[in-house]
Amino acid sequence: MIKKQRNINFGAAILFLIFSMLFFVLLSRFFFIQATGEVKGQVLAAKAEQQYTDSTKIEAKRGTIYDRNGEVIAEDRSSFSLVAILEEDMTTDPKNPNHVVDLKKTAKELSKYINLKESKIYDILEEGKKKDRFQVEFGSAGRDISYETKTNIEKLDLPGIAFNRTMKRFYPNGIFASHVIGYTETREDKNGKTSIVGQLGLEKSLNDVLTGTDGSFKFESDVWGYLLPDGKEQITPARDGKDVYLTIDRKIQILLEDAMNKVDKEYKPKKMIGIVADAKTGEILAMGQRPTFDPETRAGIENGWYNEAVETSFEPGSTMKIFTLAAAVEEGVFNPNEYYESGTYKVDPKSRAVPDHNGGSGWGSITYLEGVQRSSNVAFAKLANEKLGFDKFREYLTHFGFDQPTGIDLPNETNGKLAYTYPIEKATTAFGQGTAITPIQQVQATTAITNDGNMMRPHVIDKIVDPDTGKMIKETKPKVAGTPISAETAAKVRDYLGTVVTGENGTGKKYALEGYEVAGKTGTAQIPGKGGYLTGASNYIFSFLGMAPKDDPKLIMYVAVQQPDLTKNADGAVPVSMIFNPVMKSSLQYLQIEPTGKKPAETAKIPNVTGLSTNEAAEVLTEKGVQPVIVGNGSKIIKQIPAKGETLLAGERVIIKTDGDVTAPDMSGWSIRDVMKFAEAAGLKLNSVGNGYVVKQNVQEGSVIKEGEFLIVELNDPETIVNKEKNNDDEVEEKEKTDEVKVKD
């Protein structure tokens, strides 16, 4: 008994000792935590704050890319992805379920708004249900859903149907200078954070400028995540990316894209390049190519990653003769009336003979001007060798910028490759063979011809603006890249190049435009292959480098079409002219460049008619030879556009606004200039489609309109209007004939 008692006492002593040690350890730990505030190297106060502090990301918007007139080219928009929640545990109230209850009904209703059949939607839901998935998505059909579609689906009040919101890059014009603008991709890092990253063109090169900085909203909450009434809030605002304004003109770019589409469909060339530039500033108004791609879907991107106008160099062909001619004129060694023997020409006894493009037959003894018109290789080889001298000619190649990149603000610009070692290479460079240069180098060099000798550096970025403050971060001003020739030489060269289009022997006849004089040079460049140049009627790069109007050029346009299918038409100039002619003419009309050959227009100085009665104002303006347009049903004039003292062409419209309600006039046949006057007077937001004169308007004549409303007009050039009317007449005539036949039956 005594022994048993001793064992119990000993065991109790052991337990007491163990619990005393545990208590000591816990007490020591307590004092340690109390003193340091850390557990396993982590600060408890911070963990507590984290536990009771929620944070919400404020997403920054990527900068918008605009054209020169403020039209959107690329912008961030909210995009929604459709999800269906299948987990039944998400429902706590059976009367208000939070999961998909009726698969068939859900599939039927969703099929009305997304591009999936009802049966396919049902299969996705059913499979997800069988595999106990928390939620399912609907592939590409359920992504990038517009706000309008989201709203319509939400109105269905389908249990378990929800949306995830993301920002998506949107390109409203579709295929539109795609290699200039580029595209973006959404990337996810290892922490699950997503970001939009530029992958090509300006989206890539300006990625840091366009990308904003996300903000955050932090607040104190309880354990359930609810905001505490007296909790602290900390807001870090998001900083949106900078907005970029380009020199690209949306309307001219669309003209170029449309013309390229037609040639692509009819002639299926391997490649096409088109550039439209301001002849005085070097601003790029349009730049396109084929193959191309859709920046939103990336369809077609695998066919070409490079901006062909900037990133590739090739033998230019006879468009190079423009600059050989300019050098010869500048040096005073070009005599347009001097004769030479065409056909073939040997630079030196060791070199092969340079042949003219008609197989070396030539045209006998002709003048140098006729040689320019006929695009004689011999004429330009002789100019470079005998008139200028190869050393002097080489200096001009540098003056015109052919041995260095232009410095255009587009990524990955390549340099030309001048082959200028042997006499034959020097001679062939004079007419565009052997040496490779880029299209943008040719456009830059041409600005010296169009801008009185001042060669302008090309650029596509007009300005960069902070959208939050409106502050201009960067502005690109026209910059002279060199002065290779004088203004006098430039004028002479334009006259000589004008005869390429108008002359009896000119190779550029197909590029003549009604109402506008064109100066320019055709090109037919050979394509290097294995063991020499490719042969066959289609195996060339056909091009034209032109400017208009000839005497005072406003636009430069370069077009190149590589290896078109000429089985039906053996003339490579046809597909090139199908791009150059409509784009150049429509662009000049859109820019309101007056056609040549017109008599000087009579003008009228506008008097002040504000304060007069409508009848008095109309009488005064009519006497001045202008056409008054009364806007409103009041009796007294309160505003006029143009204002007093401005000069108008005789017959042009003056908008006079009365003190009554503003009413819409019939604008049929109005020019865009007159429409702009009316929109300004009435305080309307103008949106125009097409070029030429008004054929449709969205507001009915005589209807009352309010300030801030949209005015949308559709315009067509007179030729198109006449053709449509003729087609309508033909349709009516055909219908009458058909009706007669029916009567006979």
pLDDT tens across 355-408, in order? 999 999 999 999 999 999 999 999 999 999 999 999 999 999 999 999 999 999
On the CB side of 248, how many CA atoms lie within 13 Å of its CA? 33
Which pLDDT belongs to residue 8? Answer: 65
In this structure, are residues 652 and 626 in contact, taking their beta carbons and an 8 Å threshold?
Answer: yes
Which pairs with CB-CB distance under 8 Å and at least 24 residues apart come from 183-191?
A: 183/293, 183/295, 183/296, 183/298, 183/301, 184/62
| Model confidence pLDDT, tens digit, residues 243-280 | 999 999 999 999 999 999 999 999 999 999 999 999 99
Pairing mode of beta strands 72-85, 344-345: unpaired
pLDDT at 715 (0 to 100):
74
Which range has highest mean pLDDT (19-33, 74-88, 107-121, 369-383)? Answer: 369-383
- 171 band by pLDDT with thresholds 50, 70 and 90: very high
pLDDT of residue 292: 95
Q: Pick from 543, 75, 11, 480: which is nearest to 314 by CA?
A: 543
Give 713's strand partners.
688, 697
Query: Three-state secondary structure along 620-677?
Result: HHHHCCCEEEEECCCCEEEEEECCCCCEEECCCEEEEEECCCCECCCCCCCEHHHHHH
pLDDT at residue 215 greater than cutoff 80: no
Residue 497 CA to residue 372 CA, distance in Å, equals: 8
What is the reported pLDDT for 127?
Answer: 92
Tell me what pLDDT residue 239 has. Answer: 84
Asked whether the predicted pLDDT for residue 187 surpasses 90, the reply is no
Report pLDDT digits (tens) over 633-649. 788 888 888 877 776 65
For residue 7, the model assigns a pLDDT of 61
Q: What is the pLDDT, as a whole number, of residue 599?
A: 47
Rg (CA), the chain: 37
Q: What is the mean pLDDT of the chain?
A: 84
Angle between helices 321-330 and 390-399 (to 10 degrees): 110
What confidence category does residue 242 fall into, taking pLDDT thresholds of 50, 70 and 90? very high
Q: What is the pTM of this model?
A: 0.71
Please determine, for residue 108, whether its predicted confidence score (pLDDT) is greater than 80: yes
Q: For residue 50, what pLDDT band results from cuts at 50, 70 and 90?
A: very low
> Are the C-beta atoms of residues 308 and 179 closer than 8 Å to each other?
yes
| CA atoms within a 13 Å half-sphere pointing along the CA-CB vector of 575 | 34
C-alpha closest to that of 185 among 165, 202, 200, 164: 200
- Separation between Cα atoms, residue 193 and residue 168, nearest integer Å: 15
What is the C-alpha to C-alpha distance for residues 66 and 246, in angstroms, rounded to an integer? Answer: 6
pLDDT of residue 20: 73
The answer to whether residue 470 scores a pLDDT higher than 50 is yes
User: What's the confidence (pLDDT) of residue 680?
Assistant: 81
Mean pLDDT of the region 686-715: 79
Instruction: List the catalytic residues.
Output: 318
The mean-pLDDT minimum among 3-17, 46-60, 556-570, 679-693 falls in 46-60
* pLDDT at residue 14, rounded to an integer: 76
Residue 38's pLDDT is 53
Most confident of 2-16, 107-121, 217-231: 107-121
| Per-residue confidence band for 89, with pLDDT thresholds at 50, 70 and 90 | confident
Tokens of 248: 């690209």
Q: What DSSP designation does 226 have? A: P
- Residue 28 reports pLDDT greater than 90: no
Which tens digit of pLDDT belongs to each residue from 408-422?
A: 999 999 998 999 999
Which has the minimum average pLDDT: 50-64, 119-133, 213-227, 538-552? 213-227
SS3 724: helix
Is the predicted pLDDT of residue 726 greater than 90, yes or no?
Answer: no
> By C-alpha distance, which of 528, 319, 529 is closest to 437?
319
Please write the tens of the pLDDT for every residue from 577-586: 999 999 999 9
Min mean pLDDT across 584-588, 631-635, 694-698 is at 631-635
Residue 555 pLDDT greater than 90, yes or no:
yes
Say if residue 642 is preceded by a cis peptide, omega within 30 of 0. yes
Give the confidence band of 92 by pLDDT, cuts at 50, 70, 90.
confident
User: Does the pLDDT at position 529 exceed 60?
Assistant: yes
> Residue 625 pLDDT > 90, yes or no?
no
- 80's enclosing H/E stretch is strand 72-85
- Under a CB-based contact definition with an 8 Å cutoff, are residues 373 and 499 in contact? yes
Residue 450 has pLDDT above 70, yes or no: yes
- The band of 325, judged by pLDDT with boundaries at 50, 70 and 90, is very high
